[in-house]
Chain A
Amino acid sequence: MNDYVVLKNINKHFKDFHASKDVNISIPKGRLAALLGPSGSGKTTILRMIAGLENPDSGDIIINGRVVNNIPGSERGIGFVFQSYALFRYMTVYNNIAFGLRVKKVPEKQIRERVKELLSLISCEGLDDRFPSQLSGGQRQRVAFARALAPNPQILLLDEPFAAIDAKVRLELRTWLKEMITKLHITSIFVTHDQDEAIEVADDIIVTNLGRVEQSGTPQELYSRPATPFVAQFIGNSIPVRNFDKFRFFEKDGEDVTAILRPEFVRVFKKGENIQFSKSAEEAVVEDIIFRGSNMEVRVRLHDNLISSSRSINEPPVDIGEKVDVFIYRLFVIDGDRIQLVHNPSLKQESVFI
């Protein structure tokens, strides 16, 4: 078995609050996994339990085949990067990184070499004598990363590692972190509420909601095959549509059945532009246009639903109030707990015609 970190039937309460409900997770060695969910969904609790900062009420935490429930966090071979980094503010960068090694009574000469090595890894050479308050946000994050890595942990845990950094630096750091972790081949788990972050950085994503694990899988799997209605709504820019039976060719069986529509499921055509789906498209009015830099987000009103779609900036522009043709390729149909991807039936027919 290749699974390095395994959580089995974990339950955790904080007084009356059920923070983790039958959580089952397994993360293979060397993978970079993201715990993704809205705030209060229990993702940080899971991370803290793996680190030994919280104890589960029931269930097993297994690291490298060993049940670690009763082993203190410091002996689980874990490096932890805190959300606000928790750098020791009265210690220099050097002493921060050296702290874990000094605790382990590593000879001072080795410590010096290791700190030097890590400082060059995070490209912060020469910052040895700075205090955390004298560093930029990005530098602090890197130092926190180096401090967590100093004692050579087998697992790296990161709690919202990019939350405290401004947008521009965040994008750089994401790429940097992914490169670092891939290079070091260390099993890593990070917590985030930002799906873009999870999709971009993680090999595997574990989606949590209300204390439960909704689905685990690669970003592609979550995107194309959401297992639960929550995942379908949470991933992508999803819009719920109740009256989807009003859309041409789509049928609805049952009053409580709803659907979810994503921008990439929809195509907006200028009048006359549409050749392929001329017969099956519907007419709608453009309500809003948002310039996104690389593309335009076009919002159209269709049967009382405000539907988003994107148009390339190389295509002829549309205007607000303009009548356009809208074609819906597919949508997720949700019936209770079941979810199904339904394609527009006309696709088959028209492709035959053309």
Chain B
Amino acid sequence: MEIRHDGGALKWILVTICFIFLAVFLLLPLGYIVATALGKGIEAYINAITDEYAIKAAMLTVEATIWAVTINTIFGIAAAWCLTKFAFSGKKILSTFIDLPVTVSPIIAGLIYVLTFGRQGALYSYLDSYNIQIIFAVPGIVLATIFVTFPFISRELIPVLTAQGTDEEEAAALMGAGTFTIFRKVTLPHIKWALLYGVVLCTARAMGEFGAVSVLSGHLRGKTNTLPLYIELLYQGYDFTGAFAASSLLVIMAVVVLILRLVLEQKGKKNLDIRK
């Protein structure tokens, strides 16, 4: 789609700026990661990424991400829906609090959970009596990841739902459709792409989460070390090949998510074309 046909100099300046920016801030470091990871030969790289702890860390990252994305999808849809389709008191407060995790430093998020669920916390003895451990365990990591990523999906959905209004839902309700039918047939088709984008953002952010998780994990190798934490550990131990190899794993995971999004999007567009 061409918006301006008089393009000329301005167009090329803008394009150049964008590409230089991308090259300097993205491609160069990424290339460096790959180069360093492969610096000691392909064998050292494969050894590094097939390391038992590296795999465990990757699995934990995937686990925490799946939990966070699932829970935040449910929460995000619920929050976006109630904020846009209903009038209730406390709406502004809810809307503001949803944004809190973006504005608060992840370290603080981690500390909040340590204070709540740690030994000094009020809930500790209660949870302990049921043998539930949160701090320095997987639940803590999942909690921290959820906290940090929870605005991503609802924030993508709110503008779309606001623009749509409530007429179509009211029309469906007047014809006797139940809430679930209305959601599935009327609301969901509308928010599908925004939801997908939100899920992608949420996934990416969840995989990379470091700060809050770092406070809560306790850095138990093979148990509570996520991939970012594992990378840091290797890096602090001057194991550059290992650190960058593990980093490349994280990069690959991110690229897979992006490709997945692209494929789904293309498929969706094709569906639309067929319908037209």
When the two chains form their complex, are residues A151 and B175 in contact, meaning their CB atoms are under 8 A apart?
Answer: yes
Q: Does B92 contact A (CB under 8 A)?
A: no
Cross-chain pairs A/B with CB under 8 angstroms, 9 sampled: A53-B174, A74-B173, A74-B174, A80-B170, A88-B172, A99-B172, A100-B175, A131-B275, A131-B276
Interface residues of B (CB under 8 A from A): 167-168, 170-177, 181, 185-186, 189-190, 275-276
Contact of A100 among B167, B168, B176, B275 (CB under 8 A): B176
Across-interface contacts of A147 in B (CB, < 8 A): 171
Across-interface contacts of A73 in B (CB, < 8 A): 173-174
CB closest chain-A residue, reference B171: A86
Q: Given the complex of chains A and B, what is the CA–CA distance between A41 and B246 in angstroms?
A: 67
- Knowing A89-B190, A134-B276 are in contact, say whether A104-B167 is a contact too (CB < 8 A): no
When the two chains form their complex, are residues A104 and B174 in contact, meaning their CB atoms are under 8 A apart?
Answer: no
- Chain A proximity of B32: nearest CB distance (Å): 45
CB closest chain-B residue, reference A82: B167
> Of residues B171, B172, B174, which shows the largest number of chain A Cβ atoms within 10 Å of its Cβ?
B174
- Chain B proximity of A249: nearest CB distance (Å): 55
Q: Given the complex of chains A and B, what is the CA–CA distance between A73 and B172 in angstroms?
A: 11
CB closest chain-A residue, reference B190: A90
Q: Given the complex of chains A and B, what is the CA–CA distance between A35 and B275 in angstroms?
A: 39
When the two chains form their complex, are residues A99 and B276 in contact, meaning their CB atoms are under 8 A apart?
Answer: no
Across-interface contacts of B174 in A (CB, < 8 A): 51-53, 73-74, 78, 80
Contact of A104 among B176, B185, B275 (CB under 8 A): B176
- Chain B proximity of A138: nearest CB distance (Å): 19
CB closest chain-B residue, reference A90: B189
Within A74-130, the residues touching B (CB, 8 Å) are 74-75, 78, 80, 82-84, 86-92, 99-100, 103-104
Across-interface contacts of A74 in B (CB, < 8 A): 173-177
When the two chains form their complex, are residues B170 and A82 in contact, meaning their CB atoms are under 8 A apart?
Answer: yes
Q: Given the complex of chains A and B, what is the CA–CA distance between A92 and B276 in angstroms?
A: 10
Q: Given the complex of chains A and B, what is the CA–CA distance between A51 and B173 in angstroms?
A: 11
Q: What total of chain A residues lie within 8 Å of the partner, measured CB to CB?
A: 26
Contact with B along A29-72 (1 / 0, CB 8 A): 00000000000000000000001110000000000000000000
Across-interface contacts of A75 in B (CB, < 8 A): 176
Contact of A86 among B167, B176, B177, B189 (CB under 8 A): B167
Q: Given the complex of chains A and B, what is the CA–CA distance between A73 and B168 in angstroms?
A: 15
CB closest chain-B residue, reference A133: B276
Across-interface contacts of A151 in B (CB, < 8 A): 175-176
CB closest chain-B residue, reference A74: B176
When the two chains form their complex, are residues B176 and A88 in contact, meaning their CB atoms are under 8 A apart?
Answer: no
Q: Given the complex of chains A and B, what is the CA–CA distance between A151 and B174 in angstroms?
A: 11
Across-interface contacts of B177 in A (CB, < 8 A): 74, 99, 103
Across-interface contacts of A91 in B (CB, < 8 A): 185
- Knowing A131-B275, A134-B276 are in contact, say whether A89-B168 is a contact too (CB < 8 A): yes
Q: Given the complex of chains A and B, what is the CA–CA distance between A74 and B275 in angstroms?
A: 30
When the two chains form their complex, are residues A86 and B168 in contact, meaning their CB atoms are under 8 A apart?
Answer: yes
Across-interface contacts of A131 in B (CB, < 8 A): 275-276
- Chain A proximity of B182: nearest CB distance (Å): 10
Contacts beyond the supplied A75-B176, A103-B175, A151-B175: 16 A-B pairs with Cβ under 8 Å: A73-B174, A74-B176, A78-B174, A82-B167, A83-B167, A86-B171, A88-B172, A88-B185, A88-B186, A89-B168, A99-B172, A99-B185, A103-B172, A103-B177, A131-B276, A147-B171
Across-interface contacts of A92 in B (CB, < 8 A): 275
Across-interface contacts of B175 in A (CB, < 8 A): 74, 99-100, 103, 151
- Chain A proximity of B92: nearest CB distance (Å): 15
CB closest chain-B residue, reference A131: B275
Across-interface contacts of B171 in A (CB, < 8 A): 80, 82, 86, 88, 147
Contact of B170 among A86, A100, A134 (CB under 8 A): A86
Across-interface contacts of B176 in A (CB, < 8 A): 74-75, 100, 103-104, 151
Q: Given the complex of chains A and B, what is the CA–CA distance between A88 and B170 in angstroms?
A: 11
Across-interface contacts of B173 in A (CB, < 8 A): 73-74
CB closest chain-A residue, reference B178: A103
CB closest chain-A residue, reference B169: A86
Within A253-290, the residues touching B (CB, 8 Å) are none
Across-interface contacts of A88 in B (CB, < 8 A): 168, 171-172, 185-186
CB closest chain-B residue, reference A159: B167
Q: Given the complex of chains A and B, what is the CA–CA distance between A75 and B171 in angstroms?
A: 13
- Chain B proximity of A110: nearest CB distance (Å): 16
Q: Given the complex of chains A and B, what is the CA–CA distance between A174 and B186 in angstroms?
A: 30
Across-interface contacts of B190 in A (CB, < 8 A): 89-90
Across-interface contacts of A51 in B (CB, < 8 A): 174
Q: Given the complex of chains A and B, what is the CA–CA distance between A88 and B176 in angstroms?
A: 15
